A and B are shown apart, each in its own frame.
Chain A
Amino acid sequence: MQRFMKVIFISMFIMHLSCLGKVFADEIAPRVSISGFGTFGFVTTDSDRLAFTRDRTQTQGASASGGITNDSRLGLQLDVDLTNAIHLTTQFVARDHAGDFLEQNLEWAFLRWTPQQDLDLRFGRMGADLFALSDYRNVGYAYTWVRPPHEFYANVPMYHYDGLDITKKFHLGEDLLSIKVAGAYTYNEVPLEDNLRVNLGAPATGVNMVYESGNWRARFSYSFLHLVTDYTSPAIEQLRDPLANIIFPDVQKFIPYYSPKNTDINFFSLGAAFDDGTWLMQAETSYTHSKYKLFADTASGYLSLGRRFDKLTLYALYGIAYSFDQHANVPKPIVDLPELDALYQTIDRSLNSNGVHEQSISIGLRWDVLPKVALKTEWSHYWFGNNGTRLWLRDTSGDWPEQINLWSLSMDFIF
C-alpha cells in the first residue's frame, strides 16, 4: 500500500512538472500557481512535569522553558489547472510529526475532476476532514485562534487519507448544501510514551454535510476507521515469553490491548459557526467511539466567541474533553526485580493513564497587521481531571499538576 501510494505521488509530481512548461502557451489554462502558508510560534507553560503538544502526532513538547516546534510550520502548495475540469494540487507541510518526514508531511496530492457543475471528484491524498478545521488546521492564518481548540483537535492523529472523495453541492435559494462521501486508506504514525510509536493504518470511510446560509455554517460528519496495522515493541516481545505469565501473572492477556489490528474507531461531530464580519462564534461537539484500548472513547466540545475591532479580533474559547476509559487491573510481578517493576510501570501507565479529562479557557488577540500577516497572542488555563493528561507529554514522576497556564505568541502568514 505504501509503495503503491509513493508511485502515485511521484507520478503526480511528474505530471505537475510537465505542466509547468505549458503555462506560457495560453494565458488562462493550464494555470500554474505556487502558494503557501506558515506560522512562527512560541509557546511556554508554567510546568516542567507536563509538556504541551499541539496534537498526538508531535514528538516534542513545550514546557516552562518554551518551545518553537509545536506551532511553527511551513506549507507549500502547487496548483495546476490542466483544463476547466481537471485540477492538480500538491501540498507539503514541514512541521514536527512523528515518523517519516517526507511521507507523513505530504498532506495533499490529488487530482480533482469536475465532470459537471457542482460535482467534484478527488483522487489521491486528501486532508482528513473529521471535524470542521481538520483539513486546514495547519493554516493558522485561516482561523482566529493560535491553534485549533486543544480538547477537540489534539486527540486526533489522522491528518490525511489516500483514496477518493466525491462532493456534490446543492444550491437552495441563496443557501448552499455540500455533501461529501469519502473512501480511503489512512496511515498515521503516532508517538507513544517511552520513545515508542504506534502506526495506525486503516481503511476509512466517511460522510460530511455542510450547510451554509448567510453568515451561518453548520456541519455534520461521521467517519469510520477499521484499523489493520499491528503493534510490536521490545517490551511486547518480552511479554510473549511463556515464562512471563508465571513471574508476572496474567500479563499476557494485556498484549492484545496494544494492537490496533481489527479494531474500529467511529468519529461523530456536529458544529456551527457564525461570522458577520464583526462577531464570530464557533462551536463543535464530537463523540469518538473506539475499540482500540490505547485510544479511549472520548466526548469533546468547545465554544468560542470573538469580536472584531477593525484589524484586531478579541476572542475567548472554552473547551472540554472527557474520555470514558476503563481501568485495567494490572497485577504486580511476583518476583521483585527492578527490570520487572519498570515493565509493570510501563504497562500500568500506558493502560491506565491514557485518559483525556481536560478543560480550558483561553483569551486571545489576533491582529491583522498586514493583509496577509496576522500576529496572535493567547493565554490559556487548563484543568485536568483524574488520569486526564494524555494529550500532554509527561515526565515519569506520575505526580503531574492539576492545572497549567499556557502562553502563546505567533505570526501567521500566507503567500
Chain B
Amino acid sequence: MPMKKLIQTLLLFFLFSLQVRAELAVIGNLNSPVTSLSKQEVQDIFMGRTRSLPNGNFALPLDFQELRADFYTKLTARPIEQINAYWARIMFSGQGSPPMTLPDEQAVLKTVSENKGALAYVDSKRVNPKLVRVLLILE
C-alpha cells in the first residue's frame, strides 16, 4: 500500500513537472492574414504597448486563467506578481486594460475561432488546427 502511494505520488509529481514544462502555443484566427508572430510582437500586444496586429488590424488578446502565470513567465521571464503590478499601474492610471481572462480552454478556442483579431494561448498539444492557427511556440 505505501509502495502504491509512493508510485502515485511520483507519478503525480512527474505529471506536474510535465505540465510546468509544457510548451504553449500562441494561437490566432484562421481568417486573419497574420500567420506568425515574433516573441516581441506577442509581448507588445499582451503587455498593452500596442493595440494592433503587425498588419494594422485590431488585436484582441485573451488570457487563459489556468495558464496565465506560465504564459507570462515564458513570455517575459517575470513572475505573475510583477505582471499584476505592471497592469495595476497601467489600468488604474486609465491607460488601458489587461487582456480579458477566459475561464477554460473551450472558451479560449471558441473565442479565437470566432474573432478575427483574437490572440490567445493554449497547451501546444491541445491545438486543433481546424479551429485556430499557431502563431508562435513558447517554451
Stretch at the interface among B16-24, B25-33, B46-54, B125-133: B46-54
Q: Distance (Å) between the CB of B77 and the closest chain A CB? A: 6
**Across the interface, do B94 and A122 meet the contact criterion of CB distance under 8 Å?**
yes
Q: Distance (Å) between the CB of B61 and the closest chain A CB? A: 12
**Across the interface, do B80 and A371 meet the contact criterion of CB distance under 8 Å?**
yes
**Across the interface, do B50 and A118 meet the contact criterion of CB distance under 8 Å?**
yes
Contact of A232 with B by CB under 8 A: no
Q: Distance (Å) between the CB of B97 and the closest chain A CB? A: 6
Give bound CA distance, A120 to B115, whole Å: 24
Give bound CA distance, A107 to B60, whole Å: 28
**Across the interface, do A139 and B50 meet the contact criterion of CB distance under 8 Å?**
no
Q: Which of B83-113 contact A (CB under 8 A)?
A: 84-86, 88-89, 91-95, 97, 100, 111
Q: For residue A84, which residues in chain B have a CB less than 8 angstroms away from its CB?
A: 58
Give bound CA distance, A318 to B115, whole Å: 50
Q: For residue B111, which residues in chain A have a CB less than 8 angstroms away from its CB?
A: 27-28
Q: Distance (Å) between the CB of B123 and the closest chain A CB? A: 21
Q: Which of B37-64 contact A (CB under 8 A)?
A: 40, 49-52, 56, 58, 60
Secondary structure type dominating chain A contacts:
strand
**Across the interface, do B97 and A139 meet the contact criterion of CB distance under 8 Å?**
no
**Across the interface, do B89 and A31 meet the contact criterion of CB distance under 8 Å?**
no
Total interface residues on B, CB under 8 Å, equals 30
- Interface hub of B49, B58, B91 (most chain A Cβ within 10 A): B91
Q: Distance (Å) between the CB of B7 and the closest chain A CB? A: 31
Total interface residues on A, CB under 8 Å, equals 46
Contact of A142 with B by CB under 8 A: yes
Contact of B82 with A by CB under 8 A: yes
**Among A28, A117, A372, contact of B50 (Cβ-Cβ < 8 Å):** A117
**Among B78, B92, B97, contact of A75 (Cβ-Cβ < 8 Å):** B92
What 0/1 pattern do residues 122 to 146 of A give for CB contact below 8 A with B? 1000110100000110110111000
Give bound CA distance, A396 to B78, whole Å: 51
Q: Distance (Å) between the CB of A159 and the closest chain B CB? A: 12
Q: Which of A49-97 contact B (CB under 8 A)?
A: 75, 77, 79, 81, 84, 87, 89, 91
Q: For residue B40, which residues in chain A have a CB less than 8 angstroms away from its CB?
A: 174
Give bound CA distance, A91 to B93, whole Å: 9
Give bound CA distance, A144 to B43, whole Å: 23
**Across the interface, do B88 and A142 meet the contact criterion of CB distance under 8 Å?**
yes
**Across the interface, do B51 and A114 meet the contact criterion of CB distance under 8 Å?**
yes
**Nearest A residue (CB) for B40:** A174
A residues whose Cβ falls under 8 Å from a Cβ of B: 27-28, 31, 33, 35, 37, 75, 77, 79, 81, 84, 87, 89, 91, 108, 110, 112, 114, 117-118, 120, 122, 126-127, 129, 135-136, 138-139, 141-143, 167, 169, 171, 174, 176, 212, 275, 277, 311, 368, 371-372, 374, 414
A-B contact pairs, 17 of them (CB 8 A): A27-B111, A35-B92, A87-B97, A112-B94, A114-B51, A135-B94, A139-B93, A141-B88, A142-B92, A143-B85, A143-B89, A169-B50, A171-B50, A277-B78, A277-B79, A368-B81, A414-B84
* A-B interface, 7 closest residue pairs, ranked by CB to CB distance from nearest: A142-B88, A368-B81, A142-B89, A135-B93, A136-B93, A139-B92, A117-B52
